[in-house]
Structure 1
């Protein structure tokens, strides 16, 4: 199914909670059937139909995992947290994953595209001492679109999401390229590259320090612009114990770049996330 990954990125790690969403996306993607450990062309984390299913069937994945990740993008402190796994697809048209609720309006010869409704989680200044005085970032619904193209064993995908209930949370885009292969009859490995781009509002919300925030936190004023936020590598391994049960292991490394990397909030530019989960496929 998908990688981190993201996310909200989905991944990303756009924010502390979005980093968690990225972890969820990675594992949910891996819950998908053999030969699709990363994501469906419809979305970076929409599952593909299993060989036993038809395009008119439901495809439901449930599971639970644990992930270790930075407490916020750029943090040096890590935490472990439980990660619920949920992925639903119907008639190869509508899907619900950590990336959001989407529709394959276009679905032809490996190319898929359509609208996407998702969620930007917020950030609490109490998450880490480094954030004290910066205030909280409110969560927001986000709307956008995705497109992807699969030419086995490769897949490329992109999505764009704009916060719509708290528009100041900004616009976030992602691009991903994956290679997936079956390394044993039970094991599917996915390797990939990804990057995130954001507009100025997004960067200033998550990585900026305003005059007021500077006075409250002691950090210097910082006003980042839009552009490339991070680049990363990810790897997912799915081990299928049976037609229904699978274990998923993932690791992702992201490097904050450009204005995001220079933020006084950032303590560590290189971010690593990893985890393991157990999923059940109906």
Structure 2
């Protein structure tokens, strides 16, 4: 799934559950799930502060194609297969601006547009999807010039419970980033060190973080329900050692709560 850093945990898990919640119908008309609510996510990678953001998600199937919207991004599963998923993805990474303290003395980072593709496969599970294990790899590249970086995210989700009224899933993931991304968001140049008082730092490419989340949903009726997700990412390696992280924290908590409508 597309993974803008701000919403990596909450909305990826939420969108995955929305995707699993819908029924595969023979009806050729559009059908799916729309979810509206609010979420919290770190201000930026490594931040100790969080911001509240609107959560607007949609998973709509029409003529064998799934279009999924959420987390400041969009993707389309163009493979009409209940096990295999593949297609393009585009997302927005929110800017790093209005930071407090010494972080506010660093240059601001513009909004980034990231585009790429994803591929996934679901193993096992009964007819309703319960017990299924879903794996996915997404790769995106900045196409806006904000960081010029490349990110690759691997995810595994387990759909522990899925009934007509209740669903529960667990999600684990990790993201690799290249040097351009690492130095834009976690690096400090000598000139920036003088201006901010932070130590100069030049991180390399590598695993940025590991994370887990829990998503649950409850349907009050065939049409109306609620869905929520909680989780966190944990910065590792060069990213944990960055002065940016020292000013913030390694744990990056996130969560969301939505009202869902199925049609």
**With structure 1 as the length reference, what TM-score do the two structures score?**
0.80
1:42 alignment partner in structure 2: none
Does 2:241 match 1:262?
yes
Shift of 1:236: 0.2
Q: CA RMSD in A?
A: 2.4
Does 2:222 match 1:249?
no
2:91 alignment partner in structure 1: 118
- Alignment map for 1:50-89 (pairs within 5 Å): 50-51=23-24, 53-54=25-26, 56-89=28-61
Does 2:250 match 1:272?
no
- Alignment map for 1:172-211 (pairs within 5 Å): 172-182=151-161, 185-211=164-190
Conserved? CA contact 1:64–1:279, under 8 Å: yes
Shift of 1:55: 7.0
Q: Distance in 2 between matches of 1:109 and 1:25?
A: 19
SS at match of 1:265: helix
SS at match of 1:260: helix
Bigger Cα Rg = 2
Shift of 1:165: 1.9
Q: Distance in 1 between matches of 2:144 and 2:209?
A: 25
Distance 1:221 1:80, change over 3 A: same
Shift of 1:60: 4.2
Could you report, residue by residue, the CA deviation over 1:203-244 in whole angstroms, capped at 9, with x for unpaired residues?
111111112322221111111111100001111001111222
- Alignment map for 1:91-130 (pairs within 5 Å): 91-98=63-70, 100-108=73-81, 110-124=83-97, 126-130=98-102
SS at match of 2:238: helix
Could you report, residue by residue, the CA deviation over 1:2-39 in whole angstroms, capped at 9, with x for unpaired residues?
7xxx621xxxxx3xxxx13653343344334xxx25xx
1:142 alignment partner in structure 2: 114
Q: Distance in 2 between matches of 1:88 and 1:106?
A: 14
2:128 alignment partner in structure 1: none
The alignment of Structure 1 onto Structure 2 pairs a total of residues equal to 253
Q: Distance in 1 between matches of 2:214 and 2:161?
A: 13
Structure 1 residue runs without a partner (length 5+):
9-13, 38-48
Q: Distance in 1 between matches of 2:193 and 2:213?
A: 35
Q: Distance in 2 between matches of 1:281 and 1:128?
A: 41
Counterpart of 1:27 (choices 11, 14, 32) is 14
Q: Distance in 2 between matches of 1:274 and 1:117?
A: 22
Deviating more after overlay: 144-153 vs 174-183: 174-183
2:207 alignment partner in structure 1: 228
